[in-house]
């Protein structure tokens, strides 16, 4: 008989084949990190119940099986090879395999030789990721699968990392989105992440096989892949066991199971793992630590005996709901800290009812709310004020340390850190790409190891040899924990090591601190995660500073909201809150409707929350139009809106004598469209541009994207090419351009390498372009004297009808003039917006970036968020023109970077201007630019905010940054 074991990251699968290669035994179960124990148990069962003394051959496979096979001298076969062996035996016509496991994702291309694509630095989009999402929705995986079949709307959900996904899902839950829609959206996100991240430009076609636990058990996930790939894949019989069967098919060596069991049972326990020094050397050291931190206590009061005005503060967080009732002297009269179960409304209603029943005479003077559910709760319960999270936490921190200069708040899935300068928030750090530094990181491991988080946290306090786990993705760190367990690390050692990882992620991934002095010396720590003494101890040791942890660390957002409510009411001399009454609470109703907006091409899917008395809250909108009913709210002081409308005025001139030519609206073509549209129109072409970007356009081109780390604007170029091809355009122009126009403000005038040469990438990775005339030659518009001759040669090499140099020169002259006129018009409009803003005493935000940040799918409506906060928006090219060339401390040779430097210098001279910089993930050049822009602005006491742009930008984090910026300006 042949035994195959597939020891995966979260499960162990086994098959036993008879001498005719028929399955006579199979099993599939989770091992919960107890790998050797489960293997021993499983092989003992196979020996006693299946083999029964007969000869047997054994082979191990799987991501967690290699170490065991090597140490125990057991045959091993790599899992990809095992999968191919099984597929070749059972389904030889397969062209491509998509396999999702607990922490692994793979695409195997079999046609034309085997090629494997696997996930690398991130485990987003795997089975463990789906488990986390089901937990967030508070439903089982089976319920999630069933609900996904009943969806009506697919939301844009990130699957790259849990923090992004949670940040997308939690607000939708708070806004009343249906779990059926969210379940289907999560599956769609996983499918898109797998295809875009792993296919890397190679088309997924032919007979497609779905393998692995998630694709076997979740029919909704299979439907999502079918939809994304526009095909119908196959989930075969025994899809869970293909690796185990491949291992069994590969078995050739007879194994003595008794000896194998003995070797496996003794595997590990070497004590050979990397460790760090203990957190506390002894009980006395811990007692001194507790004594010091016990001094920082919030004042308390007795709710039953209290007489006087009361203030309510609510923090509707990502996973929890916190509330504080505060007296007039800042004393806490009552509080709650609960899971929000995906919907904070019924929890707040229940809490308020309990308060009114306990104290019918209690009079609230003011109430404020902060957090993810701020707007929802404000509308639901008629709360007086909404406050951005950073200001709420800063307000609370000042009550415990008036001279605080750094606040760090680590919650369940998000992290907020902010530096204080001159009494105002100056710089904000938010976790935008990884959740491994947050409370859910510890919660996940505690659950995996079978402990409550409170008990698990305490276990590491006196660990003798804390495991050095470094700082990695939450899911991938599972593997390191398992290896440490095998090598003899105790649960105490692992608990302490994970606490160290939380702090290191916060300091070196989010804040990116290089020294303790950067943070300041007066530090307040907040958030439920800092209630963990181990985390607090590591933070103090790592930064070599004693910090303040209030005893209400987990309630600081709610406490800050209550203090803010009191301060606002005193300033406005108000003595009564608009909070709804007990009678209204008893008759409270909450109805949720879902509809499409239809007021513009975005066609946003709106979640409408309707409360008693006609109160409504609308979520899902990307602008204010569904709320204000105004079609141009803020557009008259928004240069981004003006620019976009200006570009859309370049429409095709029909019936061109030379036919149609397509131009994809991507990267630098967002600024060069006036040039190229005029040039080709003058030559007799009907110039067709691709439409504005949207999610559907991105998804259409994602399977041809060869790199997961290239910037999002470049990824969109694939979709724009596909749209032109869908329209039947046979001539597509997208030139390579090493140089941009020379604006005489830098050492040189290069385009960045991606902008300059991405047409080459498209030509190499989009086989569809081979059937059309794709013109991606190297062009130098920075040399107007040489340009006509060069373009004449290029055009004659691509078209049968010949072009004369004279007509090309005539078209070029018109193109250069059109570009100059466009830039002059933009600057003129920018000047008008600045003058109007100053006349109306509005703040002016220079929203700086690159031409492609004009793309609505790239900027995610950030310019509209700024104008909705009451500020005017202009772009960096307008104000850069007002500044002479200034020396900077870097080699200044990039056109767009030089604009940023000049814009920063100009902003630093203007009292009513501040700069918000949009940067793209994957753009290494942005790091140098960002540091220099920040140094220019901070040297002049200007407030600087950076927003990172990706496929899925965390708009919750963006709103926090922008609202914090405006709150700091008010301060």
**pLDDT tens digits for range 531-552:** 888 888 988 888 888 889 999 9
User: Closest Cα to residue 321, out of 170, 430, 474?
Assistant: 170
434 pLDDT higher than 70:
no
| Phi, psi of 574, rounded to the nearest 5 degrees | -105, 145
Residue of 227, 230, 152, 236 lying closest to 187 (CA atoms): 227
How far is Cα 739 from Cα 36, in angstroms, rounded to an integer? Answer: 60
Instruction: Give 693's DSSP letter.
Output: P
Mean pLDDT of 178-207: 84
**DSSP three-state, residue 113:** coil
Give 759's pLDDT tier (boundaries 50, 70, 90).
very high
Tell me if 367 sits within 8 A of 384, measured CB to CB.
Answer: yes
Residue 801 and residue 657 in contact, taking contact as beta carbons nearer than 8 Å: no
CA distance 334 to 853: 47
Mean pLDDT of 226-244: 90
Instruction: Compute the distance between CA of residue 378 and CA of residue 578 in angstroms, rounded to an integer.
Output: 10
Are 899 and 875 in contact, with CB atoms under 8 Å apart? no
Run of H or E including 559: helix 556-571
Is the pLDDT confidence value at 944 over 70?
yes
In a domain, 361, yes or no: yes
pLDDT at 367: 94
| Residue 810 clears pLDDT 90, i.e. is over it | yes
Q: What is the pTM of this model?
A: 0.74
Rounded Cα distance between 395 and 749, Å, is 46
Q: 577: pLDDT confidence band, cut at 50, 70 and 90? A: confident
| Lowest mean pLDDT, pick from 190-199, 310-319, 595-604 | 595-604
- What is the per-residue pLDDT for 284? 92
Q: Is residue 81 within 8 Å of residue 246, measured between CB atoms?
A: yes
**Dist CA 743 CA 849 (whole Å):** 16
186 vs 942: which has the higher pLDDT: 186
Q: What's the pLDDT at 662?
A: 93
Q: Which residue has the higher pLDDT, 33 or 395?
A: 395
Rounded to whole angstroms, how far apart are CA atoms 636 and 633? 8
CA 88 to chain centre: 38
At residue 334, does pLDDT exceed 90? Answer: yes
Mean pLDDT of 297-307: 91
**Most confident listed range (159-163, 486-490, 642-646):** 642-646
Query: Over 90: is that where the pLDDT of 253 sits?
Result: no
CA distance linking residue 2 with residue 621, whole number of Å: 59
- 752 pLDDT band, cuts 50/70/90, is confident
47 versus 474: the higher-pLDDT residue is: 47
Q: Does some domain include residue 175? A: no
Name which of 470-484, 601-615, 924-938 the model is least confident about.
470-484
Q: Which helix (DSSP H) or strand (DSSP E) does residue 259 occupy?
A: helix 257-265
Domain ranges, residue 864: 827-970
Q: Higher pLDDT residue, 854 or 956? A: 854
Whether residue 661 lies inside any domain: the answer is yes
Predicted local distance difference test score (pLDDT) of residue 731: 93
- In-domain check, residue 12: no
Residues 392, 558: Cα–Cα separation, whole Å? 7
341-366 average pLDDT score: 87
93: helix, coil or strand? coil
Q: Which residues pair with 420 in a beta bridge?
A: 425
Q: Are 123 and 103 in contact (CB under 8 A)?
A: yes
Q: What average pLDDT score do residues 313-322 get?
A: 85
- Looking at residues 834-856, what average pLDDT do you find? 90
Q: Look at residue 829 and tell me whether its pLDDT is greater than 90.
A: yes
pLDDT of residue 251: 85
CA-wise closest residue to 440 among 470, 410, 481, 483: 410
**CA 393/CA 407 separation, integer angstroms:** 8
Do 855 and 965 have their domain in common? Answer: yes
- Give strand ranges (E) for 641-786: 660-663, 686-689, 731-733, 773-775
Check residues 597 and 673 and name the one with the higher pLDDT: 673
pLDDT band at 476 (very low <50, low <70, confident <90, very high): low
How crowded is the C-beta side of 63, counted as CA atoms within 13 Å?
A: 20
pLDDT attached to residue 813: 94
479 burial type by CB count under 10 A (0-12 exposed, 13-18 middle, 19+ buried):
middle
pLDDT for 887: 62
Share in percent of the chain as helix, strand, coil (round to 5): 45, 15, 35
Q: Which of 371, 307, 361 is nearest to 333 (CA)?
A: 307
Same domain, 363 and 459: no
Look at residue 264 in the predicted model and tell me its pLDDT.
Answer: 77
Token pair 């020891």: residue: 7
Q: How far is CA 234 from CA 98, 145, 206, in A?
A: 10, 18, 11
Are residues 366 and 505 located together in one domain of the fold?
A: no
Residue 510 lies in a domain: yes
Neighbours of 887 (CB within 10 A): 6
Strand order across the beta sheet in which 686-689 lies? 686-689, 660-663, 731-733, 773-775
Residue 71 lies in a domain: no
Between CA 341 and CA 628 the distance in angstroms is 31
Once rounded to an integer, what is the mean pLDDT over residues 6-35? 84
Least confident segment among 79-83, 100-104, 283-287: 100-104
Residue 605 has pLDDT above 70, yes or no: no
CATH number for the domain that contains residue 430: 3.30.420.40
> Are 493 and 571 within one domain?
no
- Residues in a beta bridge with 592: 609
pLDDT at 137 over 70: yes
- Cα distance between residue 650 and residue 668, in whole Å: 16
CATH number for the domain including 833? 3.40.50.11900
Residue 351's pLDDT band, with cuts at 50, 70 and 90, is: very high
| Structure confidence at residue 746 as a pLDDT band (50, 70, 90) | confident
* 426/389 same-domain check: no
Total residue length of the chain: 971
**pLDDT interval class at 312 (50, 70, 90):** very high
- 591: three-class secondary structure by DSSP: strand
Q: Which residues contact 762 (CB under 8 A, 6 or more apart)?
A: 717, 718, 721, 734, 769, 774, 776
Q: At what angle do helices 389-400 and 556-571 cross, to 10 degrees?
A: 90
What is the distance between the alpha carbons of residues 190 and 165, in angstroms, rounded to a whole number?
A: 10
Residue 960, H or E segment: helix 955-970
> Could you tell me if 874 and 918 lie in one domain?
yes
Alpha-carbon distance of 411 to 685, in angstroms, equals 57
Look at strands 660-663 and 686-689 and give their pairing. Answer: parallel
Q: How far is residue 368's CA from residue 347's CA, in Å, rounded to a whole number? A: 16
Q: What is the DSSP letter of 750?
A: B
3 state DSSP class of 763: helix
Residue at a domain's end among 823, 851, 873:
823
Specify whether 794 is located in the same domain as 840.
no
Q: Pick from 823, 842, 863: which residue ends a domain? A: 823
Please indicate, yes or no, whether residues 799 and 832 belong to a single structural domain of this protein.
Answer: no
- Inside any domain, residue 96: no
- According to the model, what pLDDT value does residue 162 have? 56
Paired residues of 416 in beta bridges = 409, 430
Range with top average pLDDT, 93-102, 112-121, 629-638:
93-102
In this model, does residue 820 exceed pLDDT 70? yes
- Which pLDDT does position 814 carry in this prediction? 94
Strand order from edge to edge, sheet including 105-109: 115-118, 105-109, 96-100, 208-211
Q: What is the pLDDT of residue 157?
A: 76
Evaluate the CA torsion angle 757, 762, 765, 771 in order and state its sign: negative
Instruction: Please state which of the ranges 207-211, 679-683, 700-704, 712-716 shows the lowest mean pLDDT.
Output: 700-704
Question: Backbone phi, then psi, for 334, in 5-degree steps?
Answer: -165, 155
- Flag whether pLDDT at 614 surpasses 60: yes
Tell me the pLDDT band of 352, cut-offs 50, 70 and 90.
Answer: very high
Could you tell me which of 441, 570, 568 has the C-alpha nearest to residue 504? Answer: 441
* Among 619, 598, 597, 600, CA closest to 608: 619
Q: What is the pLDDT of residue 455?
A: 84
pLDDT of residue 1: 87
DSSP code at position 275: B
Residue 161's contacts (CB-CB under 8 Å, 6 or more residues apart) are 122, 124, 433, 434, 435, 473
Q: How far apart, in Å, are the Cα atoms of 711 and each of 183, 920, 956? A: 28, 6, 21
Residue 717 lies in a domain: yes
Q: What's the whole-number mean pLDDT along residues 746-753?
A: 81
* E strand or H helix at 279: none
Question: What's the rounded mean pLDDT across residues 525-529?
Answer: 83
CB-CB contact of 966 with 865 (8 Å): no
Q: What is the pLDDT of residue 325?
A: 95
| Cα 743 to Cα 671: distance, rounded to the nearest angstrom | 14
Rounded CA separation 104/124 (Å) = 9
Mean pLDDT taken over the chain: 83
Interval 618-636 mean pLDDT: 60
State yes or no: pLDDT of 595 exceeds 90. Answer: no
The separation between CA 591 and the C-alpha centre of its own chain, rounded to angstroms, equals 30
Other Cβ atoms less than 10 A from the Cβ of 383: the count is: 25
Based on DSSP, count helices (H) and strands (E) in the chain, helices before strands. Answer: 37, 28
DSSP state of 481: H
With 60 as the cut, is the pLDDT of residue 473 above it?
A: no
Domain count, the chain: 4
Q: Are residues 697 and 775 in the same domain?
A: yes
Specify the range with the lowest mean pLDDT, choosing from 384-388, 577-581, 608-612, 754-758: 608-612
Question: How far apart (Å, rounded) are the C-alpha atoms in residues 361 and 636?
Answer: 49
What is the spatial distance between Cα 6 and Cα 11, in angstroms, rounded to a whole number?
8
Averaged over 155-160, what is the pLDDT? 69
- Evaluate if residue 53 carries a pLDDT over 90: no
Q: Are strands 415-421 and 406-410 parallel, antiparallel or unpaired?
A: antiparallel
Across 45-129, the runs of DSSP E, i.e. the strands, are: 57-61, 96-100, 105-109, 115-118
Query: Do 819 and 832 lie in a common domain?
Result: no
pLDDT tier, 663 (very low <50, low <70, confident <90, very high otherwise): very high
809 and 833 housed in the same domain:
no
- If asked whether residues 485 and 579 sit together in one domain, one would say no
With tokens 């310019």, the residue in question is 863
- What's the pLDDT band for 788 if we cut at 50, 70, 90? very high
Q: What percent of the chain has pLDDT over 70?
A: 85
């Amino acid at each position: 008989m042949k035994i195959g074991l597939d020891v995966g990251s979260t499960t162990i699968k086994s098959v036993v084949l008879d001498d005719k290669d028929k399955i006579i035994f199979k099993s599939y179960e989770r091992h919960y990190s107890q790998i050797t124990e489960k293997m021993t148990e499983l092989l003992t069962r196979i020996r006693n119940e299946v083999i029964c003394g007969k000869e047997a051959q054994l082979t191990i496979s799987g991501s967690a099986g290699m170490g065991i096979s090597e140490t125990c001298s057991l045959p091993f076969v790599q899992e990809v090879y095992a999968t191919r062996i099984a597929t070749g035996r059972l389904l030889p016509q397969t062209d491509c395999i998509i396999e999702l496991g607990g922490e692994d994702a793979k695409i195997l291309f079999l046609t034309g030789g085997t090629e494997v694509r696997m996930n690398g630095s991130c485990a987003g989009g795997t089975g463990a990721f789906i488990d986390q999402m089901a937990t967030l929705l508070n439903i089982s995986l089976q319920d999630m699968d069933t609900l996904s079949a009943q969806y009506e709307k697919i939301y844009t959900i990130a699957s790259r990392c849990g923090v992004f996904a949670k940040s997308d899902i939690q607000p939708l839950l708070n806004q009343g989105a249906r779990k059926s829609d969210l379940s289907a959206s999560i599956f769609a996100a996983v499918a898109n992440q797998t295809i875009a991240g792993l296919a890397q430009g190679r088309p997924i076609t032919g007979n497609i096989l779905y393998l692995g636990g998630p694709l076997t058990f979740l029919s909704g996930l299979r439907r999502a892949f079918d939809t994304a790939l526009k095909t119908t894949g196959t989930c075969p019989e025994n899809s869970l066991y293909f690796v185990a069967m491949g291992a069994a098919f590969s078995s050739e060596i007879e194994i003595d199971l008794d000896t194998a069991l003995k070797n496996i049972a003794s595997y590990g326990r070497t004590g050979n793992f990397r460790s760090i020094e203990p957190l506390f050397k002894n009980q006395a050291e811990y007692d001194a630590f507790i004594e010091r931190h016990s001094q920082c206590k919030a004042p308390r009061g007795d709710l039953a005996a209290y007489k006087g005005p009361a203030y309510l503060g609510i923090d509707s967080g990502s996973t929890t709901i916190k509330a504080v009732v505060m007296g007039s002297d800042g004393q806490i009269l009552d509080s709650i800290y609960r899971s929000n179960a995906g919907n904070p409304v019924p929890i707040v209603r229940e809490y308020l009812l309990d308060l009114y029943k306990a104290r019918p005479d209690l009079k609230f003077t003011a109430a404020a709310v902060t957090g993810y559910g701020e707007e929802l709760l404000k509308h639901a319960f008629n709360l007086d004020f909404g406050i951005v999270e950073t200001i709420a936490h800063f307000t609370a921190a000042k009550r415990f340390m008036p001279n605080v200069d750094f606040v760090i708040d680590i919650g369940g899935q998000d992290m907020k850190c902010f530096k204080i300068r001159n009494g105002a928030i100056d710089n904000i750090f938010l976790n935008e790409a990884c959740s491994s530094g947050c409370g859910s990181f510890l919660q996940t491991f505690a659950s995996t190891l079978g402990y409550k988080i409170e008990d698990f946290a305490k276990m590491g306090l006196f660990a003798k040899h804390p495991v050095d786990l470094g700082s990695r993705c939450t899911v991938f760190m599972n593997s390191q924990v398992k290896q440490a367990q095998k090598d003899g690390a105790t649960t105490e050692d692992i608990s302490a090591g994970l606490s160290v990882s939380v702090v290191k992620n916060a300091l070196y991934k989010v804040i990116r601190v290089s020294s303790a002095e950067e943070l300041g010396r007066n530090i307040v720590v907040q958030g439920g995660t800092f209630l963990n003494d181990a985390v607090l101890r590591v933070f103090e040791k790592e930064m070599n500073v004693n910090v303040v942890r209030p005893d209400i660390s987990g309630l600081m957002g709610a406490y800050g909201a209550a203090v803010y409510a009191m301060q606002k009411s005193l300033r406005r001399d108000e003595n009564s809150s608009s909070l709804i009454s007990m009678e209204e609470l008893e008759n409270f109703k909450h109805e949720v409707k879902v509809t499409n907006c239809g007021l513009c091409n975005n066609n946003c899917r709106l979640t409408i929350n309707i409360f008693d008395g006609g109160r409504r809250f609308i979520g899902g909108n990307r602008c204010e139009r569904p709320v204000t009913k105004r079609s141009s709210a803020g557009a008259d002081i928004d240069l981004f809106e003006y620019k976009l409308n200006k570009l859309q005025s370049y429409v095709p001139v029909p019936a061109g004598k030379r036919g149609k030519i397509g131009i994809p609206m991507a990267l630098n073509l967002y600024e060069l469209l006036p040039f190229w549209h005029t040039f080709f129109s003058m030559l007799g072409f009907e110039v067709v541009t691709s439409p504005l970007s949207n999610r559907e356009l991105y998804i259409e081109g994602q399977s041809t994207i060869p790199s997961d780390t290239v910037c999002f604007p470049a990824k969109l170029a694939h979709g724009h090419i596909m749209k032109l091809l869908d329209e039947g355009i046979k001539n597509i122009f997208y030139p390579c351009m090493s140089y941009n126009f020379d604006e005489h403000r830098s050492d040189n005038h290069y385009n960045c390498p991606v902008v300059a040469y991405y047409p080459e990438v498209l030509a190499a990775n989009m086989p569809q372009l081979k059937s059309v005339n794709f013109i991606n030659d190297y062009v130098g518009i920075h040399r107007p004297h040489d340009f006509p001759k060069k373009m004449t040669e290029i055009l004659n090499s691509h078209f049968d009808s010949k072009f004369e140099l004279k007509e090309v020169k005539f078209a070029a002259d018109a193109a250069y003039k059109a570009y100059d006129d466009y830039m002059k018009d933009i600057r003129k409009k920018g000047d008008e917006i600045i003058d109007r803003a100053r006349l109306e005493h509005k703040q002016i935000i220079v929203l700086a970036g690159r031409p492609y940040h004009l793309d609505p799918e790239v900027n995610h409506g950030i310019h509209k968020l700024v104008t909705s906060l009451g500020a005017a928006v202009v772009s960096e090219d307008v104000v850069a023109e007002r500044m002479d060339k200034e020396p900077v401390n870097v080699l200044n040779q990039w056109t767009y970077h030089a604009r940023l430097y000049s814009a920063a210098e100009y902003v630093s001279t203007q009292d009513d201007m501040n700069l918000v910089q949009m940067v793209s993930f994957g753009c290494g050049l942005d790091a140098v630019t960002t540091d220099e822009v920040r140094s220019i602005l901070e040297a002049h006491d200007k407030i600087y905010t950076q927003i990172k742009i990706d496929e899925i930008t965390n708009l919750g984090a963006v709103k926090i940054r922008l609202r914090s910026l405006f709150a700091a300006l008010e301060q």
